[in-house]
Structure 1
Amino acid sequence: MSTHRFLDRRSALRLLGAAGLGLATAACAGPGGGADAGRPSGTPSGLATSGAVKGTLSFAHWRAEDKAVLTELIASFVKKHPDAGVEQDISPSDDYQSTALRRIQGSKTGDLFTAFRGAQFEQIVKAGVYAPLTGTDVVGRYDDALIAPGAAKGVQYGLPYQLVFNMPLANVDALEKAGATEAPKDWDGFLQLLDDLKGEKYVPLAWPGGDAGNAGQLLNTMVMNNAPDDDMFTKIESGEYKVTDDWFLSTLEQYAQLRPYFQPRATGSTADAVTQSFASGKAAILATGSYQMAGVRALGAKFPFDLVAPITTTADKARYEGVFNATFVLGVNSASAHQRAAFAFLEFLSDPANAAVYANGTGQHVTVKDVEYTNPDLKAVAPWLTRKTLLAPRFQFLDLDIRAAVENAAVAVVGGTKPAKAAEEAQRVIDQKRA
């Protein structure tokens, strides 16, 4: 992570930017793509894909920070289809996670809607809300290896639109000031980096321990190399693994080692508070993900970004350098009265030129093929598109109560609970849920 390395990276990115970065996304499939990655075959089931595009549709999602860019895209869509309109129905992410299914069922809202990968997507599939997209031309506009999170039992129900990296976001200037000479390759190196940052009077690691939706993001990278299998959380939910197993206890013990490097009262900190701390230059690393780059810029940050994942093992045992996620799963409501318009808007968003407007305007990589990234921050983290990354494991949980128990164990440890006790309490909750 030396100064020279950053300069080399920036030079390389200028070359990549000149050619367009769309082709790079194909390498980000990682092992998380799984055997089911790719486009299912077949034909759509009753989806209105032709005819007049008219009527005002509701687009339900959780990213208020994208509203302005989407408003711009909607204006272009309406110019193309004058008899149609789009109203954004935006909820905070935590509310969306818990209430979206109830609200979009029966098309009360969300003619076109988004879903979180994992538990919410599975719930919406089971409820029959998705109009299957299998066999439609729009599926072919996406990278086959990245749309598996929107498929179930061979049917493509939704299209994950965003490609994000759920790993700590770093202030490159702070890293260089701390004398970092290379990216940490092992746990000792990561702790040394944090110690060096602390010596330079930074909060080394800003972590929103009081915000459940964001606090759990750090767990992705904390377990990626500790766990015996890539589907570690699926196996915790099934009972094959326990949080009292050695590998997870080791992870909790490492959380305890991070205590001196978090901000004061970390377990009660909100995402807004730590993001502000990072944007102002007080904190060197923000333990959430690339999805917050645009928000940090909006707060006035001028420093360059990179991503720095904790490698929790020795270098020779590390299987992954980081994690990614394919989420913001776009789907058409099966009960929509404006299904044709909803599908047309999905097609519009899936056009590479329009997807580029969304990506560059919001600071989010996308899964659409042949998109050219001009946003400097997207270019800065573009090398991660070709690195060894794991599909973010926290979204393997289908039972959100079990996920909360596992993630709360880490929060409890940061708050001072002994790792073994935190693990036992979490396992008790898991056992009760599975009973």
Structure 2
Amino acid sequence: MTRPLDRRAALRLFAASGLGLGLAACAGPGGGSSGTDSGSSPSALATSGTVKGTVSFAHWRAEDKAVIAGLIKAFVKKYPDAGVDQDISPSADYQSTALRRIQGSKTGDLFTAFRGAQFEQIVKAGVYAPLTGADVVGKYQASLITPGATKGVQYGLPYQLVFNMPLANTDALDKAGHTSAPTDWDGFLKLLDDLKSKGYTPIAWPGGDTANAGQLLNTMVMNNAPSDDMFTKIESGEYKVTDDWFLKTLEQYGELTPYFQARATGSTTDAVTQLFAEGKAGLLAVGSFQMAGVRALGAKFPFDLVAPITTTAAKAKYQGVFNTTFILGVNSASKVQPAAYAFLEFLSDPANAGTYANGTGQHVTVQGVFNTTFILGVNSASKV
């Protein structure tokens, strides 16, 4: 789930991250710590001891493999008696099988988790070695790591700061006559019409990819919903998908249909990323996590983040969404805990986190990291 962030809070956030913000604030549903019972009691974390042995690092980002491999080489140079093997699964598989695989430390001395249900499930199973009180926690921006905590205990550290907003080819937008982001629904539809008239596919949407097809929903509901925790309240039954605000969102999805690429409901993320990277689409409806993929395909054009504003400018509270995920944790059953913790500390060092951020195109939650891959700017003439 995404988290609420008003314009002023966003500016503070991005300043702390070494980023400016041009399109205003991020926001969205959910975000608090879980109330999940921790179930079994995990063992205390071994933060000291000889750093030796091979650490299994379980995660789902195959696209980060080379960058992480480079960091592992530097880690091994610092700790010659230690090593790290990456155990990588596709994200969909990781969501369904990670707990079974990491429980008992079959793999994943250091592992990642998705925020929300998977994190809560792993906490309940007692797999996390609690990090509360460990020095590494202080390396992170406190406001961004709450999805890795529950009942006052920090079990994991969300490493990635993700903006669940469409990427925009700003060259295409310029050619369509739009030099600033639309501030209302009519303006957004006008942008799409103008992109279409210039021969672009207005929105490249991965409708055939379950993991990414729903990314657009985050921004479609952010200004329609009656509260920021709308998805949590749908799950609890307090809100329903037959409520007026949700039906309005579905109607607006219908209005977007003519602007998607052909056969959109069967399109993969790879296919639409290629379409966007070739300069044939104005918007790519995924999120900031796809920036590196676009650049890897050879795209040279500048891009930014542009979210649909589904209401009037006067009623719009938010202009985007963000969340933190890729929750790093140490396995309570690991036989090489000191080495696993040492690698967690290594990844959390600002210099190394910066290497990861710039090498993968990801933003991170570690304090003092300046990401040079994608920098948003604040307009000097802005009235806000």
Q: TM-score, normalised by structure 2?
A: 0.89
Deviation at 1:301, TM superposition (A): 0.5
Match of 2:273 in 1: 275
Give the whole-Å Cα distance in 1 for the aligned partners of 2:294 and 2:250.
29
Match of 2:139 in 1: 141
Q: Cα–Cα, structure 1 residues 30 and 182, in superposed 2: closer, same or farther, change >3 Å?
A: closer
Match of 1:122 in 2: 120
Deviations 1:368-390 (A, max 9, x none): 00112232xx22x3669xx9xxx
Deviation at 1:120, TM superposition (A): 1.0
Deviation at 1:182, TM superposition (A): 2.4
Q: Cα–Cα, structure 1 residues 136 and 21, in superposed 2: closer, same or farther, change >3 Å?
A: closer
Deviation at 1:298, TM superposition (A): 0.5
Q: Which runs of 5+ in 2 are unaligned?
A: 1-14, 35-41
Matches within 5 A, 1:83-232: 83-232=81-230
Match of 2:39 in 1: none
- Contact 2:29-2:222 within 8 A present in 1 as well: no
Helix, strand or coil at the partner of 2:173: helix
- Contact 1:21-1:373 within 8 A present in 2 as well: no
Match of 1:81 in 2: 79
- Contact 1:33-1:145 within 8 A present in 2 as well: no
Match of 2:9 in 1: none
- Contact 2:19-2:370 within 8 A present in 1 as well: no
Match of 1:302 in 2: 300
Deviations 1:88-142 (A, max 9, x none): 0011111111111111111111000001111111111111111100010100000
- Bigger RCO (CA 8 Å, 6+ sep): 2
Give the whole-Å Cα distance in 2 for the aligned partners of 1:145 and 1:32.
16
- Contact 2:28-2:219 within 8 A present in 1 as well: no
Deviations 1:53-89 (A, max 9, x none): 0000100011111111101100000000000000000
Helix, strand or coil at the partner of 2:314: helix
- Contact 2:28-2:322 within 8 A present in 1 as well: no
RMSD (Å) for aligned C-alpha atoms: 2.2
Give the whole-Å Cα distance in 2 for the aligned partners of 1:36 and 1:105.
23
Give the whole-Å Cα distance in 2 for the aligned partners of 1:343 and 1:294.
28
Helix, strand or coil at the partner of 1:329: strand
- Contact 2:59-2:88 within 8 A present in 1 as well: yes
Deviating more after overlay: 284-293 vs 174-183: 174-183
- Contact 2:52-2:82 within 8 A present in 1 as well: yes
Matches within 5 A, 1:325-336: 325-336=323-334
Give the whole-Å Cα distance in 2 for the aligned partners of 1:220 and 1:23.
25
Deviations 1:4-50 (A, max 9, x none): xxxxxxxxxxxxxxxx973559998968796769xxxxxx9611000
Helix, strand or coil at the partner of 1:317: coil
- Contact 1:29-1:145 within 8 A present in 2 as well: no
- Contact 2:206-2:266 within 8 A present in 1 as well: yes
1:263 matches 2:283: no
- Contact 2:103-2:127 within 8 A present in 1 as well: yes
Helix, strand or coil at the partner of 1:315: coil
Deviations 1:262-315 (A, max 9, x none): 001111111111011000111111000010000011111110010000000111
Question: Which residue identity does 1:97 align to in structure 2?
Answer: Q
Match of 2:70 in 1: 72
Give the whole-Å Cα distance in 1 for the aligned partners of 2:205 and 2:25.
26
Give the whole-Å Cα distance in 2 for the aligned partners of 1:322 and 1:194.
18
Q: TM-score, normalised by structure 1?
A: 0.79
Question: Which residue identity does 1:56 align to in structure 2?
Answer: T
- Contact 2:20-2:378 within 8 A present in 1 as well: no
Q: Cα–Cα, structure 1 residues 270 and 167, in superposed 2: closer, same or farther, change >3 Å?
A: same
Question: Which residue identity does 1:218 align to in structure 2?
Answer: L
- Contact 1:221-1:309 within 8 A present in 2 as well: yes
1:22 matches 2:20: no
- Contact 2:161-2:325 within 8 A present in 1 as well: yes
Q: Cα–Cα, structure 1 residues 271 and 168, in superposed 2: closer, same or farther, change >3 Å?
A: same
1:315 matches 2:313: yes
Q: Cα–Cα, structure 1 residues 75 and 382, in superposed 2: closer, same or farther, change >3 Å?
A: farther
Q: Cα–Cα, structure 1 residues 98 and 28, in superposed 2: closer, same or farther, change >3 Å?
A: farther
Give the whole-Å Cα distance in 2 for the aligned partners of 1:338 and 1:382.
44
- Contact 2:357-2:363 within 8 A present in 1 as well: yes
Match of 2:5 in 1: none
